[in-house]
Amino acid sequence: MKKNEKYYQIAIDGPAGSGKSTIAKSIAAKLDFLYIDSGAMYRALTLFMIEKKLLTKSDTELSKHIKKIKIGFYKKNAKQLVFLNNTNVTNKIRSSTVNKHVSEVSARKAIREELVKRQRDFALHNSIVMDGRDIGSTVFQDADLKIYLTASPYIRAKRRQKDLQTINEKISIKELIKQIQGRDNYDSSRRISPLCKAQDTIVIDSTNLTINKVLEKISTFLPIII
């Protein structure tokens, strides 16, 4: 993909609970760039497939459905809302049911191809910060800045537990660690766009860092690209 010289692309990748969404949102706000949560797009599609009982359908049949699906991002009181076919699904896509299926859905070829196309379209007319698992390695291979965030499974489980509490779901840290490690395995070994570090990415371990400290580290690289 040829880089559009007029707009900037910042890719932030990492496993579940590494803090990438929080960091990406902060950087986008700081730079007044568009923020895109690619994971929310996959979660929205997963929710749609669960509700429409499409999880076992073939890629050919899925393609007929997903091309018609509308996924939108809207900001309200500094919070990003996710809409699926004009319905607010911001909380529903974070449920444990969606979490259980999102990795297998994300690995589907038809889904990945459609959403990668949509993700690239966002960058045609916007400077963006996008977070996910394959943004720097696949979606924007020529991104101006690539960050890979990681953290220990325990810290990531604690963060995930906090997210679940906001939608009144209670899961033990032990169970969340098990889920996270299972998802890491699945995401890093899938055939299409696996979770991996791009060669020219900057790796930051946020296990013992506050959000502000991570932002400070990343901020040192921003003048180089802008």
Q: Which residues contact 109 (CB under 8 A, 6 or more apart)?
A: 59, 192
Look at residue 212 in the predicted model and tell me its pLDDT: 95
State the CATH number of the domain containing residue 167.
Answer: 3.40.50.300
Look at residue 4 in the predicted model and tell me its pLDDT: 45
Do residues 135 and 129 make contact, with C-beta atoms less than 8 angstroms apart? no
What is the extent of the structural domain holding 172? 9-219
Give alpha helix (H) positions in 107-221.
109-122, 153-165, 173-189, 211-219
Mean pLDDT along residues 92-99: 92
| 2 lies in some domain | no
| 174 lies in some domain | yes
146-150, 168-172, 192-196: the lowest-pLDDT one: 192-196
Instruction: Tell how many helices (H) and how many strands (E) occur in the chain.
Output: 9, 8
Mean pLDDT along residues 37-51: 96
**Model confidence at 173, in pLDDT bands (50, 70, 90)?**
very high
Mean pLDDT along residues 109-118: 93
CA–CA dist 204, 148 (Å, integer): 6
Tokens of 23: 């960091």
| 64 lies in some domain | yes
Q: How many other C-beta atoms are found inside a 10 Å radius of the C-beta of residue 168?
A: 7
Q: Which residues contact 117 (CB under 8 A, 6 or more apart)?
A: none
CA–CA dist 214, 109 (Å, integer): 33
CA–CA dist 69, 76 (Å, integer): 22
Look at residue 15 in the predicted model and tell me its pLDDT: 93
Model pTM greater than 0.75?
yes
CA–CA dist 219, 223 (Å, integer): 8
Mean pLDDT along residues 67-90: 90
Do residues 129 and 12 make contact, with C-beta atoms less than 8 angstroms apart? yes
- What's the chain's average pLDDT? 91
Look at residue 153 in the predicted model and tell me its pLDDT: 95
Mean pLDDT along residues 155-179: 91
Asked whether the predicted pLDDT for residue 174 surpasses 90, the reply is: yes
Look at residue 194 in the predicted model and tell me its pLDDT: 83
Look at residue 224 in the predicted model and tell me its pLDDT: 66
Asked whether the predicted pLDDT for residue 226 surpasses 80, the reply is: no
Look at residue 192 in the predicted model and tell me its pLDDT: 82
Do residues 132 and 148 make contact, with C-beta atoms less than 8 angstroms apart? no
| 226 lies in some domain | no
| 224 lies in some domain | no
Look at residue 225 in the predicted model and tell me its pLDDT: 64
| 119 lies in some domain | yes
Mean pLDDT along residues 150-177: 91
| 148 lies in some domain | yes
Number of domains observed in the structure of the chain:
1
Three-class SS of residue 213? helix
Look at residue 189 in the predicted model and tell me its pLDDT: 86
Look at residue 223 in the predicted model and tell me its pLDDT: 76
| 1 lies in some domain | no
Tokens of 182: 């299972």
Do residues 156 and 17 make contact, with C-beta atoms less than 8 angstroms apart? yes
